[in-house]
Chains A and B, each alone.
Chain A
Amino acid sequence: MAEITNNQPNIATIGDDYATKYGFRDPEDYFHKGARGLNHEVVEMISRMKKEPDWMRQFRHDALDIYLAKPMPTWGNTELLNSIDFENIYYYIKPTEFQSTNWDDVPENIKNTFNKLGIPEAEQKFLAGVTAQYESEVVYHSFQADLERQGVIFLDMDSGLREHPDIVKKYFATVIPPHDNKFAALNSAVWSGGSFIYVPPGLDVKIPLQAYFRINAENMGQFERTLIIADRGSRVHYIEGCTAPVYSTDSLHSAVVELIALDDAYIRYTTIQNWSHNIFNLVTKRAMAHKNATVEWVDGNIGSRLTMKFPCIYLVGEGAKGEILSVAFAGNGQHQDAGAKVIHVAPKTSSRITSKSISKAGGRASYRGLVKVYPKAENCKISVECDALLIDGASRSDTYPTMEIDADNVRVEHEARVSKVAEEQLFYLTSRGLTEDEARLLIVNGFIEPFTKELPMEYAVELNRLIELEMEGSVG
């Protein structure tokens, strides 16, 4: 992992804000934009436009029935959840007729947007492959030829289904079935885009693969679907980022991400979630770790109005390892309801959860965690550490940890802390010439350092910059 040598805040850039940096919008010149709202016709239309096999078409219709039948969650921030106007959402927008493998073939507006977001630059510098999703479809895709030759598959999910139907059919929705929860059912009905990755046995994809998700239209619903399979003894690191324009009305992002790490495989999945503050981010992420496999979720949540996301790992094979490292930043009007779940099914499995949250200016951060150990999962090791930092008295932090341990010889460590930025700390730093804002920022950056040090350097710098913007409080 790259060592971070100079990730301190750059004071010169304080004062930039989300609106100009990420929150700009493009004019809509789309190949297809359907009507608002959701019903079986919309599902049929999506499946038909994608020319899907019958099983997938049926899967979608069944999922829609499940979605319609399931009630809204009665836990979490029900007030915000119930404020979503689902009839006002666009469930499918296809911006371009074709996906491109050359940025020059991407429509000017969209290309400029990804340019501003630094995607082509990152692609050249330190990524082995990129998918860029705009609204419902991946509009650009690239992948290093030598990895492709070695049998690694990295495609958008739709192309994956078309080109590798057998693998997709074998694994799709096996980790997160549609009836898992209402939003998993919704995604299953209208999914579009996302990534499909398969790494053949023993292969180490040394350079990260990245997907970038951009919402542009107002009241957009984005429902990408990602499936990653790391075959025996293989390794892969996948990174996703996302942003959207600032609108006064709500948009919806509801993804389903399934990871399968077969025996001895390793998957790291890194997220920098930076949605604008009008987006509801309701995501289901779950991984299966087989014998001696390792899965790591590195999950950073900075943006969105309400995020409900609890990355989960099922440790189903003996000796499997799971790690969930998360940071949530809740500013004014935001609720980050984030957390982690680990299910120990097999013996000698180990897990570590490290959750850091920062609440500022009335923001609310919740940690919701579950660690479950089944009776056969003897000799497990579990470590849970939750740290909450409150920047001011108006902000809020809640912790909802659950542990269900039904096996013997389980070693559990659990720590939870809530701290405030202390006046003494601020004075110490200001007495060295830092302003109070700079001092607070330094304290916050220090607080999340266990997270940023796990990111590739470019992302660590980016994350610190995002935190800096949020600390500045200029986000509209």
Chain B
Amino acid sequence: MKNTIFAFKNIHVQVESKEVVRGVSLEIGPGEKHAIMGKNGSGKSSLANALAGHPAYEITKGEAYINGQNLLEMDATERARAGLFLAFQYPLAIPGVTVANFLRSAVRARNGGDESVLKTFRKDLMEMFAFLEIDKSFAARYINDGFSGGEKKRLEILQMAMLKPKMAILDETDSGLDIDALKIVSKGINQASPSDGGVLLITHYQRLLNYVKPDYVHVMMDGRIVQSGGPELALKLEDQGYDWLESKNARAVEV
């Protein structure tokens, strides 16, 4: 078995007793970027939520490891502290809690309550603000409360940069972004991607992959990975759509 940061095998996921992921496996090595593409309802976001430990997404079967630790024995908190990060497709608003206070709590929590990591917090935060072209006033705003779509996604990437995960799963981070915002967010993802860690991009469209280059591309359909390849696979999907895969896998879809 190759040296992996993040690996899962034959993962099955149920939501409200309906199976939405039906046996997905992947191994992600240090420094690798993988992309999972697929249409709405293919199960890719369910996979992301289940791996991050969302209580409504039950993993009924399979194995998953982060840095060799058994992921499925951990709750969401422990997974985050082990270095897993999920950038949400729909980030939640937490009224009354400022971005700065939240990030400070999260950075401390991610590091197991170690206060010493906060010494450079302010400086790091300001640097990331500048890098992601975020106004300083952002720090005092309430988390995602009244944020535009682009601001929400920037805040997700800001969190990723501040929390320094070993393994980042980005769920439709490109959705709802105009081209300028997409470029900034992509720049942020590239900057925050750990050289010795992994990144899993989940996306509907190819356009994010122009800015964040994946090493591997996988296509999900009806809860399974039906095709894997290099970056050229994404280009083919952009060009030809998903239809050729659908007819190819029509038989597999019928259970």
Contacts and interface: CB of A to CB of B under 8 A. Distances in A.
Interface string B70-108: 000001110111000110100110111100011011101
Contact of A428 (B92, B105, B108, B142): B92
Interface string B155-166: 000010001000
Interface in B124-155: 142-143
A447 B79 CA distance: 27
Contacts of A431: 52-54, 76, 79-80, 85-86, 88
Contacts of A447: 95-96
Nearest to B162: A432
B113 interface: yes
Contacts of B52: 427, 431
Given A443-B97, A445-B97, A449-B97, A432 B163 contact: yes
B96 A445 contact: yes
Given A423-B55, A424-B92, A427-B55, A433 B109 contact: yes
A443 B106 CA distance: 14
B253 interface: no
Contacts of B92: 422, 424-425, 428
Q: Which of B55, B96, B109, B163 has the most CB of A within 10 A?
A: B96
Nearest to B94: A446
A443 B104 contact: no
A82 interface: no
B22 interface: no
Contacts of B88: 428, 431
Contacts of B75: 430
Contact of B105 (A422, A442, A449): A442
Contact of A432 (B96, B109, B142): B109
Given A430-B53, A442-B102, A442-B105, A425 B94 contact: yes
A449 B140 CA distance: 13
Contact of A434 (B53, B109, B159): B109
A433 to B, nearest CB: 4
Contacts of A448: 96
B56 interface: yes
B77 A428 contact: no
Contacts of B113: 11-12
A216 B92 CA distance: 45
B110 interface: yes
Contact of A433 (B54, B56, B80, B91): B80
A433 B55 contact: no
Nearest to A453: B96
Contacts of A446: 94-97, 142-143
Given A431-B53, A433-B77, A8 B96 contact: no
A9 to B, nearest CB: 8
Q: Which of A424, A433, A435, A449 has the most CB of B within 10 A?
A: A433
A442 B80 contact: no
Q: Which of A6, A431, A448 has the most CB of B within 10 A?
A: A431
Contact of B101 (A8, A12, A433): A8
Interface string A1-44: 00000111101100000000000000000000000000000000
Q: Which of B56, B109, B143, B163 has the most CB of A within 10 A?
A: B109
A32 to B, nearest CB: 48
B108 A432 contact: no
Contact of B109 (A7, A435, A450): A435
Nearest to A427: B54
A445 B143 CA distance: 13
Nearest to B81: A433
Given A446-B94, A446-B142, A434 B101 contact: no
Contact of A438 (B56, B79, B95, B105): B105
Chain A, interface SS category:
helix
A432 B53 CA distance: 11
B168 to A, nearest CB: 12
A436 interface: yes
B91 A430 contact: no
Contacts of B94: 425, 428-429, 442-443, 446
A250 to B, nearest CB: 35
A436 B75 CA distance: 10
Contact of A450 (B54, B86, B96): B96
Q: Which of A423, A428, A442 has the most CB of B within 10 A?
A: A428
A285 B97 CA distance: 32
A431 B85 CA distance: 7
A429 B75 CA distance: 12
A298 to B, nearest CB: 16
A313 B189 CA distance: 55
Nearest to A419: B95
A434 B159 CA distance: 13
B122 to A, nearest CB: 11
Nearest to B111: A433
Contacts of A12: 113
A7 to B, nearest CB: 8
Q: Which of A432, A435, A446 has the most CB of B within 10 A?
A: A432
Contacts of B54: 427, 431
Nearest to A447: B96
Contacts of B108: 11
Contacts of A434: 77, 105-106, 109
Nearest to B169: A431
Nearest to A432: B106
Given A427-B76, A431-B76, A449 B96 contact: yes
B159 A428 contact: no
Nearest to B97: A446
Contacts of B159: 432
A8 B80 contact: no
Given A423-B55, A431-B80, 11 more contacts: A8-B105, A425-B92, A427-B54, A431-B86, A432-B163, A433-B109, A434-B77, A438-B109, A442-B102, A447-B96, A448-B96
8 smallest beta-carbon distances between A and B, as pairs: A446-B96, A449-B96, A433-B109, A446-B97, A433-B80, A433-B110, A432-B106, A430-B76
Interface of A: 6-9, 11-12, 422-425, 427-436, 438, 442-443, 445-450
Interface of B: 52-56, 75-77, 79-81, 85-86, 88, 91-92, 94-97, 101-102, 104-106, 108-110, 113, 142-143, 159, 163
14 contacts: A8-B104, A422-B92, A423-B56, A427-B76, A428-B88, A428-B94, A430-B75, A430-B76, A431-B85, A431-B86, A433-B81, A434-B106, A442-B94, A446-B97
